[in-house]
Chains A and B, each alone.
Chain A
Amino acid sequence: MNRLVSLSCGSLKSDQLDVLRSNGIKTVADFISCDVESLAQKTSIPAKEISSIQSIVIAQLAAFPLNGKDYYNGLMTRFSIFSTGCKNMYFKAVFVDKEVLIYYSRRQRQTLLTEVKFFSLDELLDGGLYTGDVTEIVGAAGTGKSQICMNITLSTSMEAKKYVIYIDTGGSFCGERIKQLLEGCKASLDDEEIHKILSRISVIQAFDIFSMLEALESVRQRLVSEIEDEKTLQLRLVIVDCLAAVVSPVLGGQQIHGHSLMVNLSRILKSLAVEHSLAVVITNNVVADSSWSSPFSTKPALGPTWGHVPSTRVFIQTQTEGSETNRIATITKSSRQKLHLSRAFCIDHGGVRSQAKLTSE
């Protein structure tokens, strides 16, 4: 509740404020929605004066409507899609007595006799990560959420040459791993280039929701203040890994306080995405899902209020078959893609790779 003080409505004098207060106009909201004529009759303030101050206050507070055409033109100048950096593996499958032999070869792809479909996370996301979207990666511990995040970070910094902010809440960001990924991608990089790539990645450690809000607010301040440095202008991706780690502790007990903090956090993430054209990636844990209608035995953590926040959600599961772990990514929320599409992927020393689904056609 914003109280009505002369600070917020500059031209109201303090004695006029007292008159307004005694007539039940205590907050800014009361003032801007009051009926001018009847107020002028009750108080000695001329109606003209009230309505002019009222319209100034409304104009200061209100958001400006954008015409759809202008919005579209503006959007197209800033719009971009980032790859998740998930490399395609090209397979040649030869079916010999129901035994499948797999050859990995990029060059052989053109000469494949039996075409096997190959998939990637990008394809799952209809091209990749869109600016203006909040993409949520959901999975239990050890399913590879942080690995995907690091992969995205590196590919955005290396291929797209954009700046990345990585907010790390659990100490899961690993510099060594980034270096390993970098060496796996391009062996021929010199030190200067490696330095350039790594300097585009900023890591912020936030171990509670307050430092997280502070970190995001400082990013927003930087974007709003229009500082003309490359670091701000070229910032295109914000990763929060893992979001649930800071939100879950405040949700217990005092429900309302926790939810209001969570909604504040969600709003700042979404406004960064939409108003500053950033791609935002968050990771979330899972909790057990007891409802019978669900296709999975788990559901995203943080409850139904949070569920409305991300516009795209990728669910990651692992299946263990003997000594091998299969990772499967399924899209469970999207406004662009067909839901419940699945893609298998694996993680090796070179990063996240997609795996072909072996379908014998």
Chain B
Amino acid sequence: MAVETTAQLFVRLGGEQALDDLDTKLFADIPDGIKPGHVLEFSGQEGSGKTEMLLHLIANCILPKSWKDLKLNGRSVDVVFVDTDYHFQLLRLVTVLEHRIVNAIKEAQNDNHAVEDCFCYPDKYNDHEDFIKNCLSHLFIVHCNNSIQLLATVLSLENLLAARPEVRIFMIDSLSAFYWIDRFSSRENLSTQEANQKKIVSVLARFTRQYHVVLIGTKQSLFASSEKTPRREYLCQKWQRLVNFRFQFSMEGKIKGTDLVYSVCQTCSPGNKIVRFYIKESGIQFLS
């Protein structure tokens, strides 16, 4: 059992304010916002913005509330990112962080003539690279190559969670990565196929209870959608019961102007309100 200092205990138990709803626009429909211990599922076809949304949320989390006199509106909490698809692009995250800082500087200067290319940092913010690196130290990345390794990795991450109560978010991109491999190696026996997945999910469920982390898992659409089965659920029952909120991502195409519009819809909730967003170089931009 890891020893916890009172300060850490305070952070852990008082963490509700620290999360501050993760994202105000994406989760606007959830009455009480995202609370520690909630489980979210992002699903969608390729190129529908799942990983980009994860980067957006990571940026929300690892940035501090303010830096010098800039308002960054971050949460300064730690994030664990389990990358089973090798999709995570750190450089992209750095770009998103840079744009947040630039936007904050512009806002502070009340500078409205947006000349993106020739922007230079004022002397005061010369150490922005070190600042970004410091932000990145709030992030933990781990790659996994098969489902048994994923199980072992998730189990071993308990040490990290116990040692760093600042970890509030646990992301897995994606849960479906080993679906075909497991299905083949189990020779069509559903219970063997899902054996590892079930174990992983039960460990994750324990983490959400014990360490109050928010768990976000992505699920790829591995099957072509048809009229009869628009969305096929193929992850184990245990996961489906664990999930509190489901978000379905899709690319809508061009609606206004030349920018592609993406949408995210919270399924299995009354109303089915759709949130639309653009993906720009600066990251995700919600349509109001």
* A binding-site residues for B, Cβ under 8 Å: 1-2, 27-29, 32-33, 57-69, 71-73, 75, 79, 130, 132, 256-257, 259-260, 262-264, 267, 270-271, 273-275, 293, 303-305, 307-308, 311, 332-333, 335-336, 338-340
Contacts and interface: CB of A to CB of B under 8 A. Distances in A.
A33 B199 contact: yes
Nearest to A268: B145
Given A32-B155, A60-B152, A263-B181, 6 more contacts: A32-B152, A71-B90, A72-B136, A304-B46, A307-B47, A340-B260
A304 B53 CA distance: 20
B180 A65 contact: no
B142 A64 contact: yes
Contacts of A293: 253
29 contacts: A1-B185, A29-B148, A32-B151, A32-B155, A59-B156, A61-B153, A62-B149, A62-B153, A62-B156, A63-B145, A65-B80, A68-B90, A68-B138, A68-B140, A69-B136, A72-B90, A132-B89, A256-B180, A256-B188, A263-B181, A271-B143, A274-B86, A304-B45, A304-B46, A304-B221, A304-B224, A305-B220, A336-B95, A339-B47
Interface in B182-220: 183-186, 188, 192, 195-196, 199, 202-203, 220
A62 B152 contact: yes
Contact of B86 (A66, A271, A307): A271
A259 B195 contact: no
| Those 7 A-B pairs whose CB atoms lie nearest each other, nearest first | A68-B139, A260-B184, A68-B136, A61-B152, A62-B156, A270-B86, A307-B46
Interface residues on B, range: 35 or more
A72 B145 CA distance: 21
Interface in B239-269: 253, 259-260
B133 interface: yes
B1 to A, nearest CB: 12
Contacts, number: 149
A335 B284 CA distance: 12
Contacts of B153: 61-63, 65
B260 A29 contact: no
B94 interface: yes
Contact of B155 (A62, A64, A275): A62
A309 to B, nearest CB: 8
